[in-house]
Structure 1
Amino acid sequence: MNILFLHGLESKLSPAKRVILETYGIVIAPDLDYNSNPNTIQNLYDEFKSQEITVIIGSSMGGFAAYHLANSMGICALLYNPALPYRNNVVQNIPSDLPKKRSPLMRIVLGGQDDVIKAKDNLVFLSQNFSELKECTIQIINELAHQIPVPIFEKQAEYFFEELCY
């Protein structure tokens, strides 16, 4: 299994989280600069459309990109506090000509204490764009803030990969 991981704004995949994901497959985690590249989604699509990516995982700004890539490449996705409703003044273009294949399975983890990307704002966005989703699980963790602690990351990854294999 090939796992594409997209980190958040000014972030990276931590070694501990990489080890967790490597139990499920080969991890591809490109170094992204969302601030200087407004065409990140198009560039990622062009780079990975012909590769055998099985799942895409993204956090915050990476969750925003992963949402759009999963729905254009038709692959399963796990999103942690995705920046779907807003991106804090970081310009990211959503290409209008990407294919519309819809993700067959999407798990979205939202933090009830997230003060960067509010869970309720993500829920409003998702309700307004529900037709883009086939099967979607939304998990709200009341005590979770924006940063994803390793134990929560691990447990949610486990749930996601179990869903894939049911």
Structure 2
Amino acid sequence: MKILNIHGFRGSAENAAFGALTGLGHDVVSPPFDYDSVTPDKVAEKLRRIIKTDTPRYIVGTSYGGFFAALLSAETGIPAVLVNPCLMPFYHLPLLGYEGDIAPMIALFGGLAKADRSIVKCIIGGSDEIIDTHSLETNYYSAENITVIPEGLHSGATLPLAEYFGEVIK
């Protein structure tokens, strides 16, 4: 199945989600981004073009990539799977050294309100040491769509992604 994978801030296109998805036999499109040098608007534009040309059946996003996955799911109706999503990047990324303009992130954030929340699944590390606002996901998306791994950290490598993807991506 064709899946769009979006990595996180200062992450790699061949992240843990990419490895788990390709290991399950999926055809994964995973564009690399240097989020420090590309504005959020340009990232969203490029991802929208990829969706038009590659027509993925799912969007998977890790951390900051989860923000874009949630946004694109809201815009397109394509189901999304979020891995330790950073849905408030305008808050978290400056704490992690991002020096770019956060205004575009705030503008894009409003797009999440259009989400079909029933088609968004989240896996969250209960011991995430980077994102401390996962209560946003647990309050916005249905409890049955949230899986918390108590010992999981922020890195997708600390989560049972292959097993999880095998259950939620149909």
Say whether the fold is shared (TM-score over 0.5): yes
Which residue number in structure 2 is paired with residue 4 of structure 1? 4
Residue 37 and residue 49 in structure 1: after superposition, are their counterparts in 2 closer, same or farther (change >3 A)? same
How far off its partner does 1:15 sit?
A: 7.2
- Deviations along 1:101-126, whole A, 9 cap, x unmatched? 636521101111111112xx222355
Residue 103 and residue 75 in structure 1: after superposition, are their counterparts in 2 closer, same or farther (change >3 A)? farther
Residue 15 and residue 57 in structure 1: after superposition, are their counterparts in 2 closer, same or farther (change >3 A)? closer
Residue 19 and residue 117 in structure 1: after superposition, are their counterparts in 2 closer, same or farther (change >3 A)? closer
Q: Could you tell me how far apart the structure 2 residues matched to 1:148 and 1:68 are?
A: 20
Select which of 124, 131, 134 maps to 1:122.
Answer: 134
Select which of 126, 133, 139 maps to 1:112.
Answer: 126
Which residue number in structure 2 is paired with residue 66 of structure 1? 69
Identity %: 26
- Deviations along 1:1-49, whole A, 9 cap, x unmatched? 2100001111114377545313342110001122222212233124423
Which structure shows the higher helix fraction?
2
Q: Could you tell me how far apart the structure 2 residues matched to 1:69 and 1:143 are?
A: 29
Which blocks of at least 5 consecutive residues in structure 1 are unaligned?
A: none
How far off its partner does 1:134 sit?
A: 8.0
Select which of 159, 162, 167 maps to 1:154.
Answer: 162
Of 1-10 and 143-152, the range deviating more from structure 2 = 143-152
- Deviations along 1:128-147, whole A, 9 cap, x unmatched? xx3xx689600111100111
Corresponding pairs, count: 156
Residue 69 and residue 102 in structure 1: after superposition, are their counterparts in 2 closer, same or farther (change >3 A)? same
Q: TM-score, normalised by structure 1?
A: 0.77
Q: Could you tell me how far apart the structure 2 residues matched to 1:82 and 1:160 are?
A: 16
Residue 135 and residue 102 in structure 1: after superposition, are their counterparts in 2 closer, same or farther (change >3 A)? farther
Q: TM-score, normalised by structure 2?
A: 0.76
- Aligned residue type for 2:129: D
User: Any conservation in 1 of the 2:14–2:30 contact (CA below 8 Å)?
Assistant: no
Which blocks of at least 5 consecutive residues in structure 2 are unaligned?
A: none
Of 65-74 and 81-90, the range deviating more from structure 2 = 81-90
Q: Could you tell me how far apart the structure 2 residues matched to 1:104 and 1:147 are?
A: 25
Which residue number in structure 2 is paired with residue 30 of structure 1? 31
